[in-house]
Chain A
């Protein structure tokens, strides 16, 4: 009842604030479009398994470039490829050469092709060019016309939703405190958890709309690769939004004004870009890597990728969705406790 009153009020306030609505719904679309236009790939060291009937050839390859590793066993290689320990499998059985790419990451695909081409060329004697063999390329996931944006796009969708919801919900809750209305509410019989629940539900309604708009725009206008179901993507982005919402309202308790809320962005939001998998975590110092487990975006981004690129469904994403739900619940409970600072009950 009291929570419903709060939800209704938040919706009314939000609808009056056209500019914030636009920021939440349109700004991510603009940025995604820009990134789509400007994005270009960067250097990448691929991991390639070599399986060859010619042992000499295989060991030559392994010596020539550290990207190559000899695998005796094809099923083992296939397994590692599926687990993304490998980027590709190179099978050399003259006269055919077969490359199987993992395929999700276009940057990795490009790097694999270049490394293989370069190395094979350097190993083939100049006078023997006609033996250059036919190469057959197959993809485990994705396809040759997958662009870099298809790879980072799913992650960015998650990121922008996280970013804007974090900021808007955080600032709104902060205003409740700075304008004295929080205190006014605490003089009513409203419970602390009712207040937190009201905020999550009230903003939650807008984040559903936001998720739907951003995901549809990416798929139907930007033509991002979409192998799975749009509903799963919307579900994941929604969970991510609720996490951002609960984290934003929680952290607003530690800010005195809007500017201080914005100061949380470099502390809380930006690190997620670096640690959550947009950039390769494996290339990071070992002691830094566990940080990625603390970042909600790691789970959100991974799950969206699972669906959009690898066509995953519920079995592939449920664990990530549950982790996000856990984060949200944790932040909400902490927020209820943080409000204790204002009123003990």
Chain B
């Protein structure tokens, strides 16, 4: 399998604060890669750098064999930020129309993609409403729809299912599996352990370091843990003893 996202020894400082230290990882095509870590671990910082909207202090990030940031690559990436970046004065549909036209979708094609993305996240009936009338979960779903519009090869989702009920969360995950089967590479962050189990590959991030990586199965086996949570605690403990 070919590597789609390559992170080489990346560090990030904000002033004197070391937010990420010597991170290396790669994500292969079709894979669903989960970045698991507690709040403040540096998940958002890392995915922003991969999406090209932050620059590493040290190290190198390649997406589709090209150094980031790269404008052409950005048409091939779908990014869903942790905080909903939506225009609340506009309706759901107008928001999607805006993002669709930025990616060059127009006319019938644009309409189809908007309908498809909206139905995926169960928002078809609410598209005409202004976004400031949406609930938190509805905004989350609209952000997800906006990231899917242009059928990106790579999806980067920063905590996509926060505030979404279990039933819809399951259907979104089913959709992610479908996209992954169809060839999309997905990088998703989460701090929910049971969601981590759903990923094909996991990277465990803590205090800016990648403390472990592998498939959920591998991680559990090599630490003789019953759950991902135990495995995470195990790796975290090991690091603390050093």
Contact = CB atoms under 8 A, between A and B. Distances in A.
Given A183-B53, A183-B85, A5 B71 contact: no
Given A5-B101, A184-B79, A188-B75, 11 more contacts: A1-B104, A6-B102, A9-B90, A12-B94, A179-B88, A180-B85, A181-B85, A181-B87, A184-B81, A188-B74, A345-B70
A181 B98 CA distance: 12
B87 to A, nearest CB: 6
A189 B72 contact: yes
Interface in B48-83: 48, 51-53, 55, 69-72, 74-75, 77, 79, 81, 83
A19 to B, nearest CB: 12
Interface residues of B, number: 30
B90 A16 contact: yes
Contacts of B130: 16
A12 B69 CA distance: 30
A187 interface: yes
A33 B100 CA distance: 45
Which 6 A-B residue pairs are closest in the complex by CB-CB distance?
A: A184-B85, A5-B101, A187-B79, A180-B85, A16-B89, A181-B85
Interface in A287-311: none
A188 B103 contact: yes
A2 B102 contact: yes
- Secondary structure at the B interface, as helix, strand, loop or mixed, is loop
A179 B85 contact: yes
A185 interface: yes
A183 B81 contact: yes
Contacts, number: 76
A343 B69 contact: yes
Nearest to A182: B85
A35 B51 CA distance: 53
B114 to A, nearest CB: 13
17 contacts: A2-B101, A2-B102, A8-B98, A9-B90, A9-B98, A12-B89, A16-B130, A180-B85, A181-B87, A184-B81, A185-B102, A189-B71, A191-B71, A342-B53, A343-B52, A344-B55, A345-B70
Contacts of B90: 9, 12-13, 16
Nearest to A4: B101
A188 B99 contact: yes
B176 interface: no
A190 interface: yes
A5 B77 CA distance: 19
B74 A187 contact: yes
A17 interface: yes
Interface string A1-31: 1101110110011001100000000000000
Nearest to A187: B79
Contacts of B86: 181
B84 interface: yes
A183 B54 CA distance: 10
